[in-house]
Each structure stands twice: as structure tokens, then as C-alpha cells.
Amino acid sequence: MPKQTPLYALHRAAGARMVDFGGWDMPVNYGSQIDEHHAVRTDAGMFDVSHMRVVDLEGAGARDFLRYLLANNVDRLKSPGKALYSCLLKPDGTVLDDLIVYLLADDFFRIIVNAGTADNDIAWFRERLAERSPGVKLTPRADLAIIAVQGPNAARYLPQALPSASSAVSSLKPFNAMLIDGPGELMIARTGYTGEDGFEVVLPVSEAPELWNRLREAGVPPCGLGARDTLRLEAGMNLYGQDMDETVTPLESGLSWTVDLSSPRDFIGKAALAGRATPYRQLVGLVLLDKGGVLRAHQVVHTAHGDGEVTSGTFSPTLNQSIALARVPGPVAPGDTVKVVVRDRELTARVVRPPFVRNGKVLTGSAA
């Protein structure tokens, strides 16, 4: 039976359509998915992301452990509040998960991992800690919920609903976080998964319903997984389980920038990736040029070098045409055209460099 977030009853009361996502009963939309999408692009919207797992890592060896655990270099976190996006890799260089790690204080890191992989991630952390850093304390935080407030006006709405966040909202730079005074334990991070400005509020489970209601009273509409998916795809952001998983490496997933092969430190998967400097496949963006179809996951992509596959596809409300991420044999370059098999028809798509949309601005040429 799917698990429920602390906001489940509010979603039901609001008439949300619920689906099983990563083992959680989550809202896919509350009404018009397209209206929810446009609300975030033009104003603000809020998402229940309490299905994602907060994990705290504390102790004198925490930084050294993360140096070894993550493909990105945690030494880039030089001052409290800084955040880092990274992949968690297996020894063969394939992707166990992607995550964000925050430095909150000396020897105190907070990691947020995906819902569907959380239990496996925590088991992986514990096994590696036992092998390498038994003195470091690992604490999964089931007592914390997460609400994301996203959109160009998020910084105006959040302090109305949470006055104690006013200083954090006004001072935080993108990809930074701050611990602030209550109610309860609060972390405000200027991060998100939509390609717009916004914040993720980590707060006690008991306080989440009140904040959600206050945000609604302030004029922030609730948005579901459907809008979250179209927003993140327009922003060129990978979804674990679709655009990368345990069968592919970050180098094949558009995430080479998250892999630190240049520093002398060792990390899990480094040796395997060092031998794959030129991956056979690459992740590219596609914009459908022909009418009469929508790009969807698992569709075959014909290129001059062989066949690839759409990993994520949708109709883009902002571009008013279909877009996708696809893993294809290389090399292909922006401006090239490929054929995608859509319902037994070969439709033409143009290769582009993601993101498609960022901060409300279309970054790829539209064929519409």
C-alpha cells in the first residue's frame, strides 16, 4: 500500500487526483495541469515533496566520507549553507541516485534523496560508513516534511505565509540554504526542480499542514506531479528512473559536469568513469518539428549513427510543442535532425541543447 505524506488529507480535500509515485500516494493534479504549469512559470505554485527523504550526516569524518561517496567534489562546499548537486555511483560508474547535499555547519551535512531510491540509498550509506567511517552518525529524518514554493514571485509569497523566513528569503542566493528559528526546526533552501526561482522549506511534519494552508491563503495554488514533470523537463532536468538509472553513467546522461575526475581524490566509480572519457551514447534535447504526435519515453530515435531512445517526453505548455530528452549514439550536435517513431510514424525532430526554458525564457528556437 502506498505511503502518505503529512499533507495527504489536504490533497484529498482539495480534490486532487492521486497516483502511486515511488511508493507514495501523491497528487498528480488538482484541476488543470496546464494552469498549474503556467502558474509556476508566471507567478508561483507550491508542491508537496515530502516523499523525498532528508538524511543528516554528522561527525568529524563526514566530509571525508562524502569525498569518497559522491562523484561531485564536496570540497566545493566551503561555507555553511552551500549546496551541491551530485550523483551517487556504483563501482562500475552507473547511477544509484542523484541528490543534493547541503553543508549546514562544521561536520554537519544534510542530504536529500529521491523517494523511490531512499531506502536503498540509506542502506548504501550505512554499508559504506561501516567500511570506512564508523564514527560518522547517519540519521534519516522521517520527522521532517518538504514543501517547495516555486516561481518568479515565490520570494514575495513565502514570507507572507512564514514570516520567520523573511530574512532567509531576502538574503539567500541560489543553491544555498539556511537554518532558521521555528516553529520547530526549519531549513529554507533556494533550490527547486522547475527552472524558476523558488524555495524548498524543510520543516517538522506537524507544522507542514499549517504552512500549506497559509500559502494557499496567500494566493499560492497547489500543483501536482504532472506540472512538476513538464516544468522540470522544460528546464532540462533529469528524472531518476527515466533519464538515468543503474544501467547508465552520468557521462551518458548529460551530467558530466557533476563528475570530478580532475582532482586527486578517489570516489566510488571514478576508475570506471576515467576509462569512459568518450561515451558511446549522449543525452540530448529534442524539439518535434512535425505535427501529429507527442514525444514520449521509450520511443525509438533514428540517427545517422544508429538508434537511440526517448527517455522523457511531453508536450511543452511554454513552447506549445513537444519536447524530449533522448539518449542517442553520438556524435550528434544541436541543429541536427533525427527521426522519432511515434505511433508507427517517423516524425522529424531537431536536436537542441537543454534547457528548453529557464526563468520563464524560451532558450530553444520554436517550430510552432
Record the cell numbers describing residue 327, joined without a space: 539518449
Which pLDDT does position 182 carry in this prediction?
72
CA distances from 147 to 35, 45, 112, 187 (A): 19, 11, 13, 11
DSSP 8-state symbol, 238? -
Closest to 297 measured CA to CA, from 362, 249, 229, 357: 229
Q: How far apart are CA 198 and CA 45, in angstroms?
A: 9
Closest to 72 measured CA to CA, from 86, 89, 82: 86
8-44+150-196+206-233 domain in CATH 1.10.8.100? no
Q: How far apart are CA 238 and CA 254, in angstroms?
A: 8
Alpha-helical runs (H) found in the chain: 8-13, 33-42, 62-69, 118-132, 154-161, 166-171, 208-218, 225-234, 270-274
On the 0-12 / 13-18 / 19+ scale of CB atoms within 10 A, 79 is: exposed
Which pLDDT does position 278 carry in this prediction?
67
Superfamily of domain 280-368: Aminomethyltransferase beta-barrel domains (2.40.30.110)
pTM for the model stands at: 0.96
Cβ-Cβ contacts under 8 Å for 296 (sequence gap 6 or more): 310, 313, 314, 324, 342
* pLDDT < 50: residue spans in the chain: 367-368
Which pLDDT does position 365 carry in this prediction?
58
Cβ-Cβ contacts under 8 Å for 199 (sequence gap 6 or more): 148, 149, 150, 154, 155, 158, 165, 169, 172, 188, 189, 190, 191, 192
φ/ψ of residue 62, rounded to 5: -65, -45
Which pLDDT does position 367 carry in this prediction?
43
Q: Tell me the Cα Rg of the chain.
A: 20
Domain residue ranges in the chain: 8-44+150-196+206-233, 280-368
Q: How far apart are CA 192 and CA 359, in angstroms?
A: 12
Which pLDDT does position 330 carry in this prediction?
82
